[in-house]
Amino acid sequence: MGSEATKRTAYGDKQDIMDVNQIETDDTLYIREITIDDFAEVFHLGEQLFTSDYSPSMYRTWDEYEITTLYNSDSELCLVAELDDEIVGFALGTTVEKTNSAWKYGYLVWIGVRPGLQKKGVGDGLFNEIKKRMMEQGVRMVIIDTDADNEAGIRFFEKHGFGNVQKHVYMTLNLAKKTRRRAPRKS
Ligand SMILES: CC(C)(COP(=O)(O)OP(=O)(O)OC[C@H]1O[C@@H](n2cnc3c(N)ncnc32)[C@H](O)[C@@H]1OP(=O)(O)O)[C@@H](O)C(=O)NCCC(=O)NCCS
């Protein structure tokens, strides 16, 4: 369908229709706020995407509380992308205000697109909408974090202008491992 395809972003009573030329389907891609009825579908989609391979360090773990916590914190920044009445992607974010900083930060905590429908512009649609909403809320800087091996994710964020990569060290201490007792020193 190419450039004739349209993408509709729907929220509240406001509806925008924008051109999109990446979704090769006659169906409309809706970006809208998540509702409680969507929680199970989004949770199961997240389970497919954010497996232990996604974040072997367990620094970030996908569970049902991620959706409910972010929804309770700012439902306007919890979006789903719908195609053919099916949820094909989601973006969950929040805002952060730091003491001693006049800036308001947007934190895009999770963004995911159904495998098989990736690389067709769904992620772009979700990101553009959440960014627009963050700007409307006075956000001046958006933060993301992902595993250093997540090449597709990093390319995606780079395409959207993210840079200034900060390295973060993740360490573990195994408390289950028995510590060997040292022999007493001979005097
Ligand atoms: C990251 C993700 C959300 C992108 O969604 P998407 O719908 O596939 O992305 P789009 O089709 O809108 O692609 C936008 C851009 O991202 C980059 N990109 C997306 N997928 C890519 C891939 N597999 N390899 C390289 N670059 C990729 C490209 O620059 C692309 O632009 P282009 O098509 O003009 O080249 C999706 O790959 C995903 O769900 N990944 C698993 C979850 C994840 O890692 N989330 C991010 C951290 S929370």
In b/e form, how buried is each residue of 1-31, taking b as 16+ CB within 10 angstroms? eeeebebbbbbeeeeeeeebebbeeeebbbb
Q: Which residues contact 18 (CB under 8 A, 6 or more apart)?
A: 6, 7, 8, 9
Q: Which residue minimizes the CA distance to atom 3 of ligand 1?
A: 112
Q: What is the DSSP letter of 12?
A: T
At residue 18, the pLDDT reads 41
Contact 81, 90 (CB under 8 A): yes
Query: Is any atom of ligand 1 closer than 6 Å to the C-beta of 62?
Result: no
So what's the pLDDT on residue 187? Answer: 66
pLDDT of residue 28: 85
Q: For ligand 1, pick from 118, 127, 159 the residue to mutate: most ligand atoms within 8 Å of CB.
A: 118
- Give the separation between CA 187 and CA 177, rounded to whole angstroms: 30
- The ranges assigned to domains in the chain are 2-159
Tell me yes or no: is domain 2-159 CATH 3.40.630.30: yes
Q: Residue 183 has what pLDDT? A: 73
Q: pTM of the predicted model, to two decimals?
A: 0.85
For residue 108, how far is its CA from the centre of ligand 1 (angstroms)?
Answer: 15
Q: Is the CB of 124 under 6 A from ligand 1?
A: yes
Ligand 1 atom nearest the C-alpha of 89 is 39
Identify the residue whose C-alpha is closest to ligand 1 atom 7: 123
User: pLDDT tens digits for the chain (187 residues)?
Assistant: 333 333 444 433 333 444 344 444 456 899 999 999 999 999 999 999 998 777 666 677 899 999 999 999 999 999 999 998 999 999 999 999 988 888 999 999 999 999 999 999 999 999 999 999 999 999 999 999 998 889 999 999 999 999 999 988 888 899 997 766 677 777 6
* 68, two tokens: 């409910």
Q: How far is the CA of 111 from the centre of ligand 1 (A)?
A: 10
**What pLDDT shows up at residue 105?**
97
- The DSSP 8-state label assigned to residue 72 in this structure reads H
130 CB under 6 A from ligand 1? no
